[in-house]
């Protein structure tokens, strides 16, 4: 990451000439590409997704791996993993075999597929609902805001585990049902953040100007305000996904999510935790994949935040002290998790926030 500091040092000195004539999108892309951690994570995440999709195949399309997650080949060598790093070789069962001989690589890949699918679905659905609710209540205010925000308050205190239990009893733990229902309960943070953003953006001059020019509400929302809120939305959608994968694995772990014969990373850990002392690899591999995916998403979210928020340009305190005058940017990442839901709906609006949107 130290290289980022150097590029940024260069960048901040050459800013005026270099940035002239760059569009907002190009600026964001440039800053994001300069974030080493985020780029490495993005590449890793893409590799994981590709590996999970191609190895055991999707639906009817077969993958390149010789086993499927339901096959039960003969147990070899006590099911020990055959993966070798130096020299690299996969062997017969790179992640070993479980107690009945199923190939654990195929199972882990299938679990990764399912967990990723649910993660993306939860992310998309809750981002969509959150943006719609937040935008409507922040822009129109009045009774729409009152109703939507009270609804948000209500959904917040409904325990997610309860939703899991309802799914577990009424549906067969299908990916689609799980993704949709979890998406329907996790949008609250996004709604509050977007509302907070809309509340401040709607008072800005460019909105007044658009309204004077005769733009309709829809046009103002979609063409003028939403593009300005896209940073907050993207960053939070990313972080939503990183919490969604933990949520999905936790539910599956408690037996309320994905169920056998299908599998997910949480279910694999839950099924094999008792075997830790005898077959530790059954426990390690799915856990490592969860951590890897979640870590990548978190770093990407951090990179996106740095890219979208121009205040976050990196300026070291020491340099600031030495160089004397100059706007000391409150740099550094804001918290990597979505701000806890504040009832005032104006998260992290700096010290001069106002309670209850006053």
Q: Does 177 bind another protein (CB under 8 A)?
A: no
CB 303 within 8 A of CB 312: no
Return the range that interacts with another protein (CB under 8 A); candidates 11-19, 61-69, 146-154, 228-236: 146-154
Q: Can residue 331 be called a binding residue for another protein (CB under 8 A)?
A: yes
- Sign of the dihedral through C-alpha 243, 246, 250, 252: positive
Q: What is the DSSP string of 167-219?
A: HHHHS---HHHHHHHHHTTS-HHHHHHHHHHHHHHTTSHHHHHHHHTT--HHH
Interaction between residue 179 and another protein (CB under 8 A): no
Span from 87-95, 130-138, 214-222, 348-356 in contact with another protein (CB under 8 A): 348-356
Residue 321: strand, helix, or coil: helix
In this chain, which of 10, 13, 150, 204 binds another protein, going by CB under 8 A? 150
CA distances from residue 251 to 95, 182, 228, 338 in whole angstroms, order as listed: 24, 10, 35, 21
Contact letters (x/-) for another protein, 277-306, by CB under 8 A? x-----x---x--xx--xx--xx--x----
Other Cβ atoms closer than 10 A to 14: 10
Q: Which of 137, 183, 314, 345 binds another protein (CB under 8 A)?
A: 314
Interatomic CA distance for residues 251 and 264, integer angstroms: 10
Interaction of residue 163 with another protein, rule CB under 8 A: yes
Nearer to another protein, 132 or 336 (CB): 336
Q: Any contact of residue 249 with another protein (CB under 8 A)?
A: yes
Q: How far is the CB of 235 from another protein (least distance, A)?
A: 13
Restricting to residues 126-145, name those near another protein by CB under 8 A. none
Nearer Cβ to another protein, position 216 or 354?
354
Count, residues near another protein per rule CB under 8 A: 69
84 DSSP β-pair partners: 89
Q: Which residue has the tokens 């700096």?
A: 350
- Residue 6 binds another protein (CB under 8 A): no
Region from 10-18, 88-96, 157-165, 211-219 binding another protein, contact rule CB under 8 A: 157-165
Nearest to 106 by CA among 95, 119, 115: 95
Contact 313, 331 (CB under 8 A): yes
Is residue 161 involved in binding another protein (CB under 8 A)?
yes
Q: Which is nearer to another protein, 221 or 244 (CB)?
A: 244
Question: CB under 8 A: which stretch of 42-50, 150-158, 211-219, 227-235 binds another protein?
Answer: 150-158
Residues 6+ positions from 119 with CB-CB distance below 8 Å: 241, 244, 245, 248, 293
Rounded to the nearest 5°, which phi and psi values hold at 85?
Answer: -90, -35
Q: How far apart are CA 257 and CA 56, in angstroms?
A: 21
Judged by CB under 8 A, the stretch of 68-76, 83-91, 128-136, 309-317 that binds another protein is 309-317
Looking at 66, 89, 99, 273, which residue binds another protein (CB under 8 A)?
273
The reply to whether 316 sits near another protein by the rule CB under 8 A is yes
Around 348, how many Cα atoms within 13 Å sit in the side-chain half-sphere? Answer: 14
Q: Does 212 bind another protein (CB under 8 A)?
A: no
User: Which residue, 69 or 299, has its beta carbon nearer to another protein?
Assistant: 299
User: Considering only residues 11, 92, 309, 341, which one is a binding residue for another protein as defined by CB under 8 A?
Assistant: 341
Q: Is residue 269 a contact partner of residue 284, using CB atoms and an 8 Å limit?
A: no
Are 114 and 232 spatial neighbours (Cβ–Cβ below 8 Å)? no
Site residues for another protein per CB under 8 A: 1-2, 5, 150, 153-154, 157-159, 161-163, 165-166, 168-170, 242, 246, 249-250, 253-255, 266, 269-270, 273, 276-277, 283, 287, 290-291, 294-295, 298-299, 302, 314, 316-317, 320-321, 328-337, 340-344, 348, 350-358
């Amino acid at each position: 990451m130290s290289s980022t500091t150097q590029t940024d040092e260069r960048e901040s000195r050459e800013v005026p000439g270099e940035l002239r004539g760059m569009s907002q999108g190009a600026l964001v892309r440039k800053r994001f590409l300069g974030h080493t951690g985020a780029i490495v994570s993005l590449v890793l995440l893409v590799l994981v997704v590709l590996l999970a999709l191609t190895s055991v195949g999707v639906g009817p399309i077969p993958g390149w791996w010789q086993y499927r997650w339901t096959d039960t080949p003969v147990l070899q060598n006590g099911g020990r993993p055959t993966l070798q790093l130096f020299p690299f070789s996969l062997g017969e069962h790179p992640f070993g075999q479980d107690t009945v001989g199923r190939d654990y690589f195929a199972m882990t890949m299938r679990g990764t597929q399912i967990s990723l699918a649910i993660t993306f679905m939860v992310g998309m659905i809750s981002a969509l609902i959150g943006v719609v609710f937040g935008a409507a209540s922040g822009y129109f205010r009045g009774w729409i805001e009152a109703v939507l925000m009270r609804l948000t308050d209500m959904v917040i205190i409904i325990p997610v585990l309860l939703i899991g239990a309802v799914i577990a009893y009424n549906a067969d733990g299908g990916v689609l049902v799980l993704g949709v229902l979890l998406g329907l309960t996790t949008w609250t943070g996004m709604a509050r953040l977007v509302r907070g953003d809309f509340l401040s953006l709607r008072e800005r001059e460019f909105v007044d100007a658009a309204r004077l020019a005769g733009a309709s509400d829809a046009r103002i929302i979609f063409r003028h305000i939403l593009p300005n809120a896209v940073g907050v939305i993207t960053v939070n959608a990313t972080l939503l996904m990183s919490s969604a994968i933990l949520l999905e694995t936790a539910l599956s772990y408690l037996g309320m999510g994905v169920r056998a014969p299908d599998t997910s990373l949480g279910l694999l850990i839950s099924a094999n935790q008792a075997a830790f002392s005898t077959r530790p690899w059954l426990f390690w591999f799915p856990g490592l994949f969860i951590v890897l995916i979640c870590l990548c998403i978190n770093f990407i979210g951090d990179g996106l935040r740095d890219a979208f928020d121009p205040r976050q340009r990196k300026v070291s305190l020491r340099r600031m002290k030495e160089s004397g005058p100059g706007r000391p940017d409150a740099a550094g990442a804001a918290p990597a998790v979505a701000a806890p839901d504040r009832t005032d709906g104006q998260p992290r609006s700096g010290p001069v926030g106002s309670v209850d949107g006053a």
